[in-house]
Structure 1
C-alpha cells in the first residue's frame, strides 16, 4: 500500500463506526490520544533500531507511519500539507533551515 492510499483510507475512516474500524476508534478518542499512540509507536521503533533487528524495525516503522498519519488526520493536517512543507525545505541545508525556525 502506498502512503498516499493509506492517508486516503485513514481520511475515509473519520466518520466510520469505531466498533468496526481501528482507525475510527483511534480518531474517536481525539487528537491527544492519537498523539500518545504515535509516541508509543515511535519509542518502539527506536528500541528496535537500537537492537538492530531489521525485520522488527521495519514492522515498527510501518506502525509509526500509520500512527503519524492518524495523528495528522486528527488535527486535519493532510499528507499534502506535509509534502508542501518538505518541498519548501528541499535544497536548503538542514542546519540553515532549523536555524530559521521561530521558537526552536
Structure 2
C-alpha cells in the first residue's frame, strides 16, 4: 500500500473522530465548503513556491495540497479509488480528445 493510500485510509478513519482530537476531523466537521477552501489555499501556496523555485518548499506545499485534496474528497464521499479509476479510464487517451468528450 502506498503512502497516498495509507493517508486516504487515515483520513476516512478520522471522519467520525472527535474534532478536538484530530485536525482532519476538525476540518471535516466544518463541512465540504471549508475543506474545499483549505484545498484552494494550499494550492495557491504551492503555486507561489513553484514560481519562486524553492524545491524543498514546493515539495512541502505539494504534500499539503495532496492531503487537503484527500480531505476535500472525503468530505464529499469521493474516494481516492474513484479518482484512480477515472485516471485509469483516461489512460492512453489524448487530453484533447478526453476534454472534447466532456
Q: With structure 1 as the length reference, what TM-score do the two structures score?
A: 0.96
Unaligned stretches of 5+ residues in structure 1: none
The match for 1:40 is 41
The match for 2:8 is 7
Matches within 5 A, 1:20-99: 20-99=21-100
Q: With structure 2 as the length reference, what TM-score do the two structures score?
A: 0.97
Deviation per CA, 1:15-56: give whole Å up to 9, x if none: 101001000000000000000000000000000000000000
Q: Does the residue aligned with 1:69 lie in a helix, a strand or coil?
A: helix
Q: Distance in 2 between the 1:57 and 1:88 partners? A: 29
- Aligned residue pair count: 101
Q: Does the residue aligned with 2:12 lie in a helix, a strand or coil?
A: helix
Q: Aligned-pair distance for 1:100?
A: 1.1
